[in-house]
Amino acid sequence: MKSQYDIEYTDFAQELKCIDSPDNSRTLAKGHRWGSYHERNVAMKYVRIQEAHIHLNQKFKVKYTDEQMDNEVHFCANLKGRIDGYFCDGKITKSLAESQHHYIYAPAARYELHFEQIHYMHLAIDRGYYLQLLNSSEEWLTHIRTRLQNQQEIYPGGITLHHQMKTILMNMMDVPLTGNLRELMLEAKILELIALQLGQYYHAGAFTSESVSRKDREVFHAIHEYLAKTFNEAHSLQSLSRQFGINEFKLKQGFRDTFGTSVFAHIFDLKMRHAHHLIAEENMLLREVSREVGYKNPNHFSTAFKKRFGFSPNELKN
């Protein structure tokens, strides 16, 4: 059985059934071959809110085309499971583990998400509205505002979803008011979430990378492209730093802040995705795949593969 289902979102959405309800619910029919999916949606003037409970029978790789991506900032919270995403032609690779959240500005219409069994909430916030909230002379906010104004991608990485934020999110879809009062309460909750999120990132030091020069960012992207071609070679921070003329600390910090992952986590992900392809599409033996991606011990490879995908190589072959 194929363990990852590739599909365009337009085709995925055709399987969803709309329910006549105030929150514009959509769901898969009971007993659907894919499993269960239920989402609720709230549309406001400057914000779109979505909550989804997803329990599919296998991992889905869903490819999206959204022409509004350059005009929205996205707040995503993962309450259960794991979501992997690829934005801006692979420049941003993000993973949200259970009880993590992030915000992302990715001004490219095409992206893809990988998921199977998750409970998440997503806020799409109008870029102009978000910019007004950053109307401050504080330097770190100025950096964010400048990147949004120039339509440059922003992704400070995933971070822990604290109890206070989780409570706000869980209450957001069930505000016990209607009309303008409901809108006011929802907007208050949204503003509180944004403030808590930015404050959490600030205290974690996530915005230090905004002082990185354009030249350094070009170097990080060059390294990213180089690793995509050479991930099976032996790499170290020292060798990469020497090759690309950048010091190790700047490489380590700048790469993480640019792509939302460390150099070696990115190499690991590239290796595992390559291994997945070799097993699923090339039907290679596990010991051959293990050697191909640099593991002398097939058992160690199997453990790493399961950590990445949530199922073993043997399960993929079956």
What's residue 209's pLDDT? Answer: 47
**Residue-number span of the structural domain to which 291 is assigned:** 212-317
Q: What is the CATH number of the domain that holds 15?
A: 2.60.120.10
Looking at the fold, whether 112 and 145 belong to one and the same domain comes out as yes
Q: Mark whether 192 and 238 lie in a shared domain.
A: no
Residues 147, 262: one domain? no
Model pLDDT for residues 105-132, shown as the tens digit of each residue:
999 999 999 999 999 999 999 999 999 9
106 in the same domain as 239 = no
**Do 284 and 190 lie in a common domain?**
no
Q: Are 71 and 163 members of one domain?
A: yes
Q: 237-244 vs 214-230: helix axis angle to the nearest 10?
A: 120
Helices (H), 111-178: 127-133, 139-149, 163-172
CATH of the domain at 301: 1.10.10.60
Q: How confident is the model at residue 208 (pLDDT cuts 50, 70, 90)?
A: low
pLDDT in tens, 292-314: 999 999 999 999 998 888 888 88
Domain end point (choices 182, 210, 238): 210
pLDDT tens-place string over residues 56-78: 999 999 999 999 999 999 999 99
3-state SS track over 212-245: CCHHHHHHHHHHHHHHHHHCCCCCCHHHHHHHHC
CA distances to 35, 95, 223 from 82, rounded to whole Å, are 17, 7, 27
3-class state of residue 307 by DSSP: helix
Q: Do residues 9 and 152 both lie within one domain?
A: yes
Final residue of a structural domain among 210, 236, 256:
210
Say whether both 148 and 216 belong to one domain.
Answer: no
> Which secondary structure element, helix H or strand E, spans residue 194, and what is its range?
helix 179-203
295 in the same domain as 224: yes
- Report the domain count for the chain: 2
Where is the domain boundary, 161, 179, 210? 210
Does residue 196 register a pLDDT over 90? yes
Q: Are residues 105 and 28 in the same domain?
A: yes
Residues 56 and 85 both lie in one domain: yes
Q: Same domain, yes or no, for 60 and 102?
A: yes
Average pLDDT value over all residues in the chain? 88
